[in-house]
Chain A
Amino acid sequence: MKKVISFPNFGNYHIPLKVFLSKITNYKVITAPKNTKKTLDIGSKYSPDYVCLPFKYTLGNYIESLDLGANILIQAGGGCRYGFYGEVQEVILKDLGYDFKFINLMENGSFSLMKFYRSAKEVNPKLKFIKFMYYVLVTLLSMMFMDNLDKFIRKNLKYEIHKGSILKIKDRFLSFLPNNFSVIKIIRHYLRNKRDIKLCLDKSIDTSNTLKIGLLGELFSLIEHSSSYNIEEYLMSKNIEVRRYTDMTYLIVKKKFNERKILNDSKKFSKFKLGADSSDNICHAIELAKEGFDGIIHMKPFSCSPEINTVPILQKVSEEYDIPVLFLTFDSQYANEAIKTRIEAFIDMLIMRKERLKDEEKVLSRS
């Protein structure tokens, strides 16, 4: 039987991951179809009732790619409940009568690279360790470059001269990423695209009136935009500067080094580490408030316990630092317009607030 590998959707990271998996295994790799309402419907049909939303999306992804002919599935979630997803999903899919091999990269509650190597070796006995590590390095590099480029775009989109030009360059960057899958090529590819983006910017544009909004919350709804109604794209299309901390680079690399700083910064509001990304979110909320951001949008899927615990503390941060926070919860119901109305109202409120603050400043400076 021909072997076909598949894995769930997670932002744009399927692009480097697909190349990576096909390089180390020599099998065909297919990405799951893009998340749609159908994915969610299938996923929630077969999941337990009140499990968190990412479970439903990933289960839907698996079923859709199994229907497309995949027979090796990969799960690599870790932390909070993600680490336990794999086993339950395997049981559910086996009960549905699918025939497949499930590779769970979690070992003893955390991601294990050696286990990954061992299971890759099982699939492809010719694989050498050095080659494997090289491709891991390239994948990590390309993920970091993707994140860096995204960060740069989010920060500088307000200086864009012709609307839509930067996003076109980003699309080009992503679509040619698979062709540049080596250390030197990927660096060159990144630098070239970044230079192109810089050429599209005009730093002299007056941006004193653009709003600045920070996005905080649970990682899946922040990275996989389809699960959070594409809020980030919507804000960016409204010419708002968006700051988002959570991305793959942050989760894999930065978070481990930041631990002590985060505990220190959030000490005023929390004595202990709160679990998952909660402490990080509080620390980042304080940072956003200090940097003069206009508002924060906090997103979480329904029944996400670490973020539910964050809510009372964030409310206090909002009170103390005088920064408005909008709390959004996403569930398996599809309510695009309702969410949009709430965000529009939030943006209008922020604009009015900004004008009021400006007027007050003027009055103060006159007197």
Chain B
Amino acid sequence: MKVGIPRGLHFHKYKILWTAFLDYLEVDYIVSTKTNKQILNRGKKYSTDETCIPCKIYLGHIDYLKDKCDYILVPRFLGEDKLKLECIKFNSIYDVVSNTFPNIKLLEYNIDYTKRKKEKDEFIKLGSMLGYKAKDSLQAYYYAKSEEEKYTKNMFKKQELKLKIINKKKVLILSHPYNIFDNMIGKPIIDILNRYNVEVIYSTYYNSNKDNSKKYSETLYWLSSKDIINALDYYKNRVDGIIILNAFPCGNDALVNVLITNKVDIPIVNIVVDEVNSETGLITRLESFIDIIEKRSELLEESY
């Protein structure tokens, strides 16, 4: 039996958890290739015109996987708390996939606060679907959880080292993991920044147990946006500029951006990624942004 994992949406957040869980149980699995133009085109063919690009890419990955494996892992997320909801796209992605591709078999687990079940229970259920006893899947879950913790700690340490470099400009990318780490959405921007010798800090990895998002917004109830705001609060005094990366047309981000941009006093640029993206346009915008950062730090040094 072979399990397929599409490299889209929540893969970028839970990749270690999922792969380590399957590794421990010795289940054969395949992760779809990195997003490329072909996958985007396949996704476009299957999705409604107005969905956001991450969702289109996700359907493209499913299409890529559909004859390469027996089961495809498509979890459903509502949120673990009333005030920690996921984007509404994640509530229904399972049903959208099962309706667009009626002939494939899906593996699911469901994070839903109204059902009063924890992630642990859902992974036991997932294990039983794969044919493993509760004991084995529980061990696998704890193993995967510890691996995930190790990985995020490691990434966070790397990021701290990056921040300590003195003679390089640092730019914080604020976005959801499925935007930053996608090969078509975030990768071109990171590549350009690296080419201009700028250190890139990801908003995904930050270290704070406190929820500081209340300082920026009182009624916010999206988990992913809370993460972004917390990362902003954690890094804002230690970076030279901020790039807000949005996928078109993300309404949640559009609302949250209004709250963020008012409360930060370092250079900030909002880049919206569309499915028709020219690299030249990106280069121009990022180049001028880097120029602004450099000019600003020169001026600040002079004023000392």
Residues of A within 8 A of B112 (CB): 272
CA distance A199 to B96 in the complex (A): 48
Question: In chain B, residues 179-211, which have Cβ atoms closer than 8 Å to a Cβ of chain A?
Answer: none
Interchain nearest-CB distance for A81 vs B (Å): 6
Determine if B99 and A302 form an interchain contact, defined as CB atoms under 8 angstroms apart: no
From B96, B248, B251, B258, give the contact of A312 (CB < 8 A).
B96
From A48, A109, A274, A309, give the contact of B254 (CB < 8 A).
A48
From B89, B95, B98, B255, give the contact of A51 (CB < 8 A).
B255
Determine if A49 and B254 form an interchain contact, defined as CB atoms under 8 angstroms apart: yes
Determine if B95 and A50 form an interchain contact, defined as CB atoms under 8 angstroms apart: no
Residues of B within 8 A of A86 (CB): 219
Which one, A88-96, A164-172, A176-184, is touching chain B? A88-96
A313 is an interface residue with CB less than 8 A from chain B: yes
Determine if A109 and B95 form an interchain contact, defined as CB atoms under 8 angstroms apart: no
The count of chain B contact residues (Cβ–Cβ below 8 Å) is 43
Question: In chain B, residues 242-262, which have Cβ atoms closer than 8 Å to a Cβ of chain A?
Answer: 248-252, 254-255, 257-259, 262
Q: Which residue of B lies closest to A48 (CB)?
A: B254
- Given A48-B258, A51-B255, A270 contacting B92 (CB threshold 8 A): yes
Determine if A273 and B255 form an interchain contact, defined as CB atoms under 8 angstroms apart: no
- Given A80-B88, A316-B99, A302 contacting B249 (CB threshold 8 A): yes
From A81, A87, A106, A271, give the contact of B252 (CB < 8 A).
A81
Residues of B within 8 A of A269 (CB): 95, 99
CA distance A303 to B47 in the complex (A): 14
Question: In chain A, residues 85-139, which have Cβ atoms closer than 8 Å to a Cβ of chain B?
Answer: 85-88, 91-92, 95, 104, 106, 108-110
Residues of A within 8 A of B51 (CB): 305, 308
CA distance A279 to B99 in the complex (A): 14
Q: Which residue of B lies closest to A307 (CB)?
A: B50
B167 is an interface residue with CB less than 8 A from chain A: no
CA distance A304 to B88 in the complex (A): 10
Determine if B94 and A50 form an interchain contact, defined as CB atoms under 8 angstroms apart: no
Interchain nearest-CB distance for A301 vs B (Å): 10
Determine if A50 and B258 form an interchain contact, defined as CB atoms under 8 angstroms apart: no
Determine if A109 and B82 form an interchain contact, defined as CB atoms under 8 angstroms apart: yes
Interchain nearest-CB distance for A342 vs B (Å): 16
Determine if A305 and B87 form an interchain contact, defined as CB atoms under 8 angstroms apart: yes
Question: In chain A, residues 51-103, which have Cβ atoms closer than 8 Å to a Cβ of chain B?
Answer: 51-52, 55, 80-81, 83-88, 91-92, 95
Question: In chain A, residues 27-63, which have Cβ atoms closer than 8 Å to a Cβ of chain B?
Answer: 48-52, 55
Determine if B95 and A87 form an interchain contact, defined as CB atoms under 8 angstroms apart: no
Interchain nearest-CB distance for A251 vs B (Å): 17
Determine if A50 and B251 form an interchain contact, defined as CB atoms under 8 angstroms apart: yes
Determine if A313 and B87 form an interchain contact, defined as CB atoms under 8 angstroms apart: no
B100 is an interface residue with CB less than 8 A from chain A: yes
A11 is an interface residue with CB less than 8 A from chain B: no
A278 is an interface residue with CB less than 8 A from chain B: yes
CA distance A303 to B248 in the complex (A): 9
CA distance A309 to B94 in the complex (A): 10
Determine if B220 and A84 form an interchain contact, defined as CB atoms under 8 angstroms apart: yes
From A88, A274, A303, give the contact of B50 (CB < 8 A).
A303
A264 is an interface residue with CB less than 8 A from chain B: no
A292 is an interface residue with CB less than 8 A from chain B: no
From B92, B250, B251, give the contact of A309 (CB < 8 A).
B92
From A110, A270, A305, give the contact of B88 (CB < 8 A).
A305
From B91, B251, B262, give the contact of A303 (CB < 8 A).
B251
Determine if B95 and A275 form an interchain contact, defined as CB atoms under 8 angstroms apart: no
Interchain nearest-CB distance for A295 vs B (Å): 20
Which 4 pairs between the two chains have the least Cβ-Cβ distance?
A: A275-B91, A50-B249, A48-B254, A270-B95
Residue pairs across A and B with Cβ atoms less than 8 A apart, 21 shown, are A50-B248, A50-B249, A52-B251, A83-B219, A84-B222, A85-B255, A86-B219, A87-B259, A88-B255, A108-B82, A271-B95, A272-B76, A272-B92, A273-B78, A305-B88, A306-B88, A309-B91, A309-B95, A311-B48, A313-B95, A313-B96
Known contacts A50-B249, A269-B95; 14 further A-B pairs (Cβ under 8 A)? A48-B254, A55-B255, A87-B259, A88-B259, A109-B219, A271-B94, A271-B98, A271-B108, A275-B92, A276-B88, A303-B50, A305-B89, A309-B89, A313-B95
